Structure 1
């Protein structure tokens, strides 16, 4: 990617309605066309008529609208033997005009990202943050203009996505509870909408990644999917029929306190043996520090030691991955999805340890007959947090594109 000067002309803004919508093939012809082209690749109008079951007139009308919005483009006519009628002109997603901006808020840092219409990360930057909700939101507002001026010049910004772990009410744009951060009832959308004057979309990172997998990743073409996120917080998202379940106040997917840990491991919820107390990065690093495996209780240090071949560090990470496998087996049996996607550092960094994950799934699931096909690591590798942040905005675009206001 090429950085540009902070003094370059600012990005254009496109207003989209903030707020969640179910990711399904409901909601109108334009969104159906966009998602079909994203899934199937370049297609002529006649092919789109057959695949979407829209009328030829509707396909022509919607493609013209989407071209006008800079969301679609016409490709050169296909080369082939002469045929009667008009030449076949393929339509395709146009990634060159628009970007989604996103911020992922982790325990001690935040990731700024720009993501194009294909889910490709064009820029990202990681910064430490002070932890308190007011200070973190102020930092986002302070850093965002410079980030946009460097990385979105000449393109329109579709909105700002903000994602984090814990209990996030997407409809209200509020972080209800993020226990490791100590956040409660933080009105993220209200604060950042006023500070940035962008449409702000807020969601939990597991749901955001479920949408991203359905749009851009291993879940493309699937209807039923479970996304399991294991970091400093542990949560999940469940998609059925192409729609991600939210539950009352977006509370669906809370798996952090399933009794899958060790009986003696205390959890911040007041009980013992919770999944989060067994596998969260902070808890694993603290136990490794107490055992003398690492000199300070930092998960990144544990991973570095494992990369260097430290046997005890590798054992700790393998044990964590096996516990994640037991959680995956339980979710596979409860939901029975086509696919379960795991975001977990060991699975992404040490693919040679994935057999440990598959062995635990095979040993504990009654329904899963082929763990290597049913369970996969995230499609987005080291960009997973950046994609999560941007996909909150892109999901709204693919769900229901709308006519933007004129650019000034």
Structure 2
């Protein structure tokens, strides 16, 4: 082991961090060298599309943006044009670039190569990774946005020491992904974890996926704002809605109860299915310290078996706008470190 460690240190992959004194000889702790490798991450969930350069510890060291397109060939061209400018912001990044990741909304195949379907982008069976690889010359991997966030949390975030956990991303849409036995669980076709399109209100509002009553139509940030508007409320954010509810506005209370109950029910199902060690809810906008979060937690506890009640920590994390681009870079890092995710 000492010989292998020395080789990895000399290659710049590992570095010594601190000396730990105890019984016997002191131990020297090792960690990944932050400048040992770099990865590019791109999010196709926003316009303009953010592009980041990440080091080996998951830190973002450079940023750029590019126009968002629905044409895969145009996307590949835009990435190829922007890459040299992004890499120029960090010395040696071009020589140590080991992969490029793309996060998008939709289903991705088990090889992290093709977008099977994306309603947001209007795609079906698009071999995006290969198109980008051919034009950029860089190993490229694509992934569903929620799964990319889960990989980021496992490699660099709150879930590094947890083998079984689920990430629920709360935004205009709801995403979900699972790590089981320390590995990202994708299912046989890459579609595992899509709670957004689980039917939560049979016969309910139509969903963009073509079904009715999906969780996305009730508990997503977009759905909550639409329900508030339908109730005649002039609330432009969750903070506004929570404020109205705290003042006793019955319509605001009704909207938050409906959404919180729905999200809590879906999370209760996750707990029943997988018995995870943690549920992590990430959100860019929104609040989980008011009525919505309270109702959600009450709904979780009311809909799991009594023996599971209170056993699964549910953590919420306010994240920045780099969430999906950082997750995309983590997908490239994951493939470099561990290799492709098995089914």
The verdict on a shared fold, with TM-score over 0.5 as the criterion, is yes
Structure 1 runs not aligned, ≥5 long: 1-58, 296-300, 402-408
What SS is found at the alignment partner of 2:196? Answer: coil
Does the 8 Å CA contact 1:124/1:386 hold for their aligned counterparts?
no
1:97/1:107 Cα in 2 relative to 1: closer, same or farther (>3 Å)? closer
Residue 4 of structure 2 corresponds to 62
Once the two structures are TM-superposed, the CA of residue 106 in structure 1 deviates from its matched residue by: 0.7
Q: What are the Cα deviations for residues 10-52 of structure 1, in whole angstroms up to 9, with x where unaligned?
A: xxxxxxxxxxxxxxxxxxxxxxxxxxxxxxxxxxxxxxxxxxx
Residue 279 of structure 1 corresponds to 219
1:148/1:262 Cα in 2 relative to 1: closer, same or farther (>3 Å)? farther
Distance 1:294 1:143 in 2: 40
User: How many residues get paired?
Assistant: 330
Whether 2:98 is the aligned partner of 1:163: answer no
Root mean square deviation of aligned Cα: 3.2
Whether 2:43 is the aligned partner of 1:104: answer yes
Residue 282 of structure 2 corresponds to 343
Residue 27 of structure 1 corresponds to none
Once the two structures are TM-superposed, the CA of residue 204 in structure 1 deviates from its matched residue by: 1.4
After the TM superposition, which residues 13-162 of structure 1 pair with which residues of structure 2 at under 5 Å, given as runs? 59-75=1-17, 88-106=27-45, 108-125=47-64, 129-150=68-89, 152-155=90-93, 156-162=96-102
Distance 1:294 1:178 in 2: 31
Does the 8 Å CA contact 2:112/2:141 hold for their aligned counterparts?
no
1:219/1:314 Cα in 2 relative to 1: closer, same or farther (>3 Å)? farther
Structure with higher RCO (Cα < 8 A, 6+ apart): 1
Once the two structures are TM-superposed, the CA of residue 113 in structure 1 deviates from its matched residue by: 1.7
TM-score, length-normalised on structure 2? Answer: 0.82
Does the 8 Å CA contact 2:282/2:319 hold for their aligned counterparts?
no
After the TM superposition, which residues 7-406 of structure 1 pair with which residues of structure 2 at under 5 Å, given as runs? 59-75=1-17, 88-106=27-45, 108-125=47-64, 129-150=68-89, 152-155=90-93, 156-171=96-111, 173-261=113-201, 263-294=203-234, 301-303=236-238, 305=240, 309=243, 316=255, 319-346=258-285, 349-353=286-290, 354-366=293-305, 367-370=307-310, 374-378=313-317, 380-399=319-338
Distance 2:264 2:48 in 1: 27
Residue 39 of structure 1 corresponds to none
What SS is found at the alignment partner of 1:359? Answer: helix
1:198/1:227 Cα in 2 relative to 1: closer, same or farther (>3 Å)? same
Distance 1:318 1:382 in 2: 27
Does the 8 Å CA contact 1:225/1:340 hold for their aligned counterparts?
yes
Distance 1:137 1:293 in 2: 42
1:233/1:77 Cα in 2 relative to 1: closer, same or farther (>3 Å)? closer
Distance 1:196 1:208 in 2: 21
Distance 1:173 1:328 in 2: 29
